Copies of this chain bind each other. A is one copy, B any other.
Amino acid sequence: MGAAKPQKALARFLAPGAVPGQRVLLDPEESHHLQHVRRLKEGAEILLLDLKGHEFKGRVQRLGRRVWVEVLELVREEAPKAPELVLGLPLLKKDHLSFLVEKAAELGVSRVILYYSRRTVVKPGPNLVPKLGARAAQSLKQCGRLWPLAIDGPKPLSSLAEEETLYKLVAYEKEKSLSLKEALKRIPSKPDKLLFLSGPEGGFSPEEASFLQQKGFLLVHLGDQILRAETAAFYLMSVAHLWFFL
């Protein structure tokens, strides 16, 4: 008794365009979340992410289908992560993609490009990308990241291979000599940008693997165990985070 109650963390909301000293109108989803999930009232303090590297304090001004929030002072700012990590992710079943997008947001990936290749069997639903985008946005709020995770595609493997960057790696289970670790050692410690490509269920065809090699990808192995497609994707993100961000 008498001890200070631990201060509860303020809830974060997405507010693109927020500027201190002005007010901002939350979109219907964020407004719903504020009013009906978090049950906040007028006058409550919250945090606002402008998705351009800033976190502001805010105060709820008027509830409604769209909530008005007064934007107060800057709490935190962040430059975009360097290097820019781009993850090429095969179409997998929706639950796996959704999970992986959440992890990509947590682990500092800048952009996910969904792709399909010869052995892809999953058909993307019409709302796949918007749904993944929503999951990524929720993940930002949870992990405190200040820049959005972009989600592109789905596009064919051939067009993903055109992505402009000096450093491209692809995990390929038939590669036996070059490990991911050895390949990482060949890359400067602070490249501008890096493309990591994770393989599809059933793997790449030999033609696809040699096509990627021609396009400048380093083919790397992840050891002698067979990893599931979702394991390999998560593995690449974790290792890239350790290697470039720690």
Contacts and interface: CB of A to CB of B under 8 A. Distances in A.
Interface of A: 103, 106-108, 142-145, 179-182, 222-223, 225-228, 231, 234-235, 238-239, 241-243, 245-246
A245 B227 contact: no
Specify how many copies of this chain sit in the oligomer.
Answer: 2
Enumerate the 10 nearest inter-chain pairs by beta-carbon distance, A residue then B residue, closest first: A238-B238, A181-B246, A179-B246, A235-B238, A143-B226, A143-B225, A239-B242, A106-B231, A144-B226, A223-B245
A144 B107 contact: no
A144 B239 CA distance: 23
Given A181-B246, A238-B238, A246-B180, A144 B225 contact: yes
Contacts of A226: 106, 142-144
Contacts of A241: 222-223, 235
Nearest to A242: B239
Interface of A is mostly: helix
Nearest to A182: B246
A228 B104 CA distance: 12
Nearest to A181: B246
A228 B106 contact: yes
Nearest to A183: B246
B145 A231 contact: no
A10 to B, nearest CB: 14
Contacts of A239: 238-239, 242
B180 A225 contact: no
A225 B179 contact: no
A233 to B, nearest CB: 11
A108 B225 CA distance: 8
Given A238-B234, A238-B238, A106 B180 contact: no
